[in-house]
Amino acid sequence: MKGLVGRFEKTVAGRQEITSRIGTLDRRTRALLITVDGRTSVGDLLARALQLGLESDAVFALQQEGFIQHVGELGHVSDVQPSAGSLPSGAKQNSRFRKRSLAAARMYLMDVMVRTLGTAEHPIRTRLIEATDPGSVEQAFEAFLEMLRETATPSVVAHIEESFRDQLPIRQ
């Protein structure tokens, strides 16, 4: 599969597909698109595709349909370049950063909960909806992680935790 090296990120069309739930993609392919984050290697994406029951060419199909692109291709519009003084000393030295917010972290977590729990009416999700401060969001997340550890593989749990934490604002 020529062209499937490096890392991929969602295009504008890919982000619109996720946020608008247009229905262009089937459920498993949409789940694969959600995992595309600009940091995960193509090999990991191919493995995820197989875990989701997709063919190995699913990643290539997402690229051909314009939902993902190689990191750094023209047309990327969501780069945010923080000032040198805004990074904590332990932050990754990477020129690519995305916007972080409590709202983005909550929305990501709500989406994962619905997909994982299969229902929008779950007590942990209700706690998350009512959470408005970082502490209460973190408590709802920890409760969700506890439950998730009983049903999901450690790699899925780690991926969800990392993605959630990457959405949170950087603590000063």
Residue 33 lies in a domain: yes
Look at residue 118 in the predicted model and tell me its pLDDT: 67
Task: Examine the domain organization and report whether 110 and 158 are in the same domain.
Answer: yes
> What percent of the chain is predicted at pLDDT more than 90?
2
Q: Point out the domain boundary residue: 51, 70, 89.
A: 70
Angle between helices 12-20 and 27-35 (to 10 degrees): 120
Token pair of 164 as six digits:
């959630």
Number of C-beta neighbours around residue 31 at 10 A: 17
109 and 163 co-located in one domain: yes
What's the number of domains the chain is made of? Answer: 2
Confidence of residue 142 (pLDDT cuts 50, 70, 90): very high
Domain housing 35: 8-70
Enclosing H/E stretch for 150: helix 134-151
Query: The pTM is what?
Result: 0.44
Q: pLDDT tens, 33-61?
A: 988 888 878 888 888 888 888 887 888 88
